[in-house]
Chains A and B, each alone.
Chain A
Amino acid sequence: MIVETEGLTKRYGSAAVLNGLDLEVAEGSLLALLGPNGAGKTTTIRVLSTLTRPSGGSARVCGFDVAEQAAAVRGVIGLTGQYAAVDEEQTGRENLVMIARLRRFSRSAARARALALLERFGLTGAADRRVRTYSGGLRRRLDLAMSLVAPPRLLFLDEPTTGLDPVSRTTLWDAIGDLVRDGVTIFLTTQYLEEADRLADRIVVLHNGDAVADGTAEALKSSAGGTRLDLVFGCAEDALRARGVVAGAVDGTTLAVPSDGSAVHLHRVLDDLLAARVRPLRVSTHRPTLDDVFAALTGAAA
């Protein structure tokens, strides 16, 4: 296990942010820590990356205790925080060379490493512009590149795509996927079920500083009721008639039908309805959101 925590707690005054968190992350995997704001995601990353001392319990990264062997931990991790911590008044290249020099690369090796990373992350065009002029997506990619100057065994990504536009988000997801294929273990936090679903081998759901679920994206989604089709009819009577044809729950003019999300299933439902001469006005596919997962896991209203 590259990350192991046992009963990890962190409190600020009387407020407990982490409540006895137990976590294990296997080497080479991508774990997504999923939760809303205030669940303790960032605090977990801060503790594991030695930025904040835990109040209790233990945490080991690559076998090193985060509190007692912080220097050893820092040697094997990379961290990209929630707010891209890059120097605005330096160019992308200067930022990378600086990190390489701090990682004890020689001058020429630092320049070569910076160039390689600029190319890898599609930053060569912006390399000699000051970061102040970068878009959000460019900035995040530079931030990620800076965490990879000395190839880490474990990379922490704290909400890597929060605030990015959809295109930049996809680009960053591809970059993260490439890293996993290279064998880097990744520990990321996110508020988006879609992101965790797309990237993670395993998802841990954090709620009030404790893990409330642990499993694959599929398992989580089925716990939240899986995908469903929402069929909207012209009147409530039609919706009730439709329920006689396909099983589901009626709410006003809407019939909600459990589904596997496949086109085949959608086709069959529509065929059956048309055969019975009940025509829906609109069809939408509803995939469970983080809110649904949360509602299912915590019993709280989403």
Chain B
Amino acid sequence: MTASLTMIGRSIRLGRRNLDLVIMAIVLPVLMMSLFVYVFGGAISSVQSYVDYVVPGIVVLCTGYGATSTAMSVADDMKKGVVDRFRSMPISGAAVLTGHVVASLARNAVATFAVVLVAVLMGFRPTASIGAWALALGLLLLYVLALSWLAAGFGLIARSVESASLLGFAMLFLPYLSSAFVPVTTMPPWLRAVSEHQPVTPVIETVRALLTGAPAESGWLALAWSGGLLVVASGWAAWLFGRISSR
């Protein structure tokens, strides 16, 4: 337990001191919100105000960047021999990865807070109750946790820090193929099928519904996707960590 806390402290301290990560966590959400609300927002007509519509999408988009940072941090530790140093000590492998995953949660929490703050300045007026906020944040937490474990796994298999950043490519592309920025009803049928059968869409739909007081119809689906992804990704990362010794 002390080991995990120490590793969490380490990853958070390193994250705070890495200017790239700080900028990624705070500046990026601001830029993305401005881009979508002021540049694209006018051209995208929707029933509700666009800023209300787009907030969950920007949050999820930013988690993609957060996951990429996590994968790169893990790959960096692998490359520099830091993971070897920890593996030569009597501490559990779980502690080593937990540090990265929890730091990833913290970074994403900062990014999410930044998105919401900027959105409010731009006119975002959520009508959600405290309970709905808690549910929305809980779902996002579960989703980010799953994504962070997936990122840790990518960091372990990546041959370099650069190739770890490829994870970001997938994570950043998925939100564009979802209902993050435009309703899926505006897409051609084949794309709509893709969009409705990937994890990002139900998560975004649920968070949006919770924040605007609409019925959260895809809640269970979002929960199943995130929970399933968490189980698979954390198991995969732990398995990969155990296999380092066969290299």
**B220 at interface, CB cutoff 8 A:** no
Specify which chain A residues have a CB less than 8 angstroms from the CB of B90 in the assembled complex: 71, 74-75, 103
Expressed in whole angstroms, the minimum distance between the Cβ of B119 and any Cβ of chain A is 32
* Binary B-proximity of A68-96 (CB < 8 A = 1, otherwise 0): 00110011010101110111011000100
Contact between B14 and A50, CB atoms less than 8 A apart: no
- Docked-complex contact B2 and A85, CB < 8 angstroms: no
Contacts of B82 in A (CB 8 A): 85-87
Cα-based distance from A90 to B10 in the complex (angstroms): 8
* A99, B2: Cα distance in complex, Å: 11
With an 8 A cutoff between CB atoms, is B81 at the interface?
A: yes
Chain A residues in 8 Å Cβ range of B17: 89, 130
A85-B18 CB under 8 A given contacts A52-B247, A103-B89: no
Least distance between A121 CB and chain B CB atoms (Å): 17
Q: Find the B residue at minimum CB distance from A88.
A: B80
Q: Would you give the shortest CB distance from B20 to chain A, in whole angstroms? A: 11
A133 to chain B, nearest CB (A): 13
Q: Give the shortest distance, in Å, between B160 (CB) and chain A (any CB).
A: 15
Q: At the interface, yes or no: B169 with Cβ under 8 Å from chain A?
A: no
- Which residue of chain A has its CB nearest to the CB of B244? A51
**B92 CB, min distance to chain A CBs, angstroms:** 9
Q: A279 in the interface, Cβ–Cβ < 8 Å?
A: no
Contact between B14 and A53, CB atoms less than 8 A apart? no
User: A8 to nearest B CB, angstroms?
Assistant: 15
B residues in contact with A85, CB < 8 Å: 80-82, 84-85
Complex contact B87–A87 (CB within 8 A): no
- Decide: A102 and B88 in contact? CB cutoff 8 A: no
Among B14, B18, B84, B95, residue most surrounded by chain A Cβ atoms (within 10 Å): B84
The complex places the Cα of A103 from the Cα of B6 at a distance, in Å, of: 10
A52-B247, A53-B246, A70-B245 given; 5 more Cβ-contact pairs under 8 Å: A51-B244, A79-B85, A85-B82, A85-B84, A89-B18
Give the CA-CA distance A130 to B16 in the complex, in Å.
14
CB closest chain-A residue, reference B18 = A89
A207 smallest CB distance to B (angstroms): 24
Q: Do B86 and A102 touch (CB < 8 A)? A: yes
Q: Which residues of A contact B14 (CB under 8 A)?
A: 87, 89-90
A residues in contact (CB < 8 Å) with B: 46, 49-53, 70-71, 74-75, 77, 79, 81-83, 85-87, 89-90, 94, 98-99, 101-104, 130, 146
Residue of A nearest to B4 (CB): A102
- Check if A98 sits within 8 Å of B10, measured CB to CB: yes
* Residue B172 is within 8 A (CB to CB) of chain A in the complex: no
* Residues of chain A lying within 8 A (CB to CB) of residue B31: none
| A85–B245 alpha-carbon span in the complex (Å) | 18
The contact sample of 27 A-B pairs, CB cut-off 8 A, is: A46-B84, A50-B87, A53-B245, A53-B246, A70-B245, A75-B90, A77-B88, A79-B85, A79-B88, A81-B81, A81-B84, A81-B85, A83-B80, A83-B81, A85-B80, A85-B84, A86-B82, A87-B10, A87-B14, A89-B14, A89-B17, A89-B18, A94-B13, A101-B3, A102-B95, A103-B90, A104-B3
A83 to B, closest residue via Cβ: B81
CB-CB nearest in chain A for B246: A53
How far, in Å, is B74 (CB) from chain A's closest CB? 14
Inter-subunit contact A51/B88 (CB<8 Å) = yes
Closest partner residue, chain A, to B82 (CB atom): A85
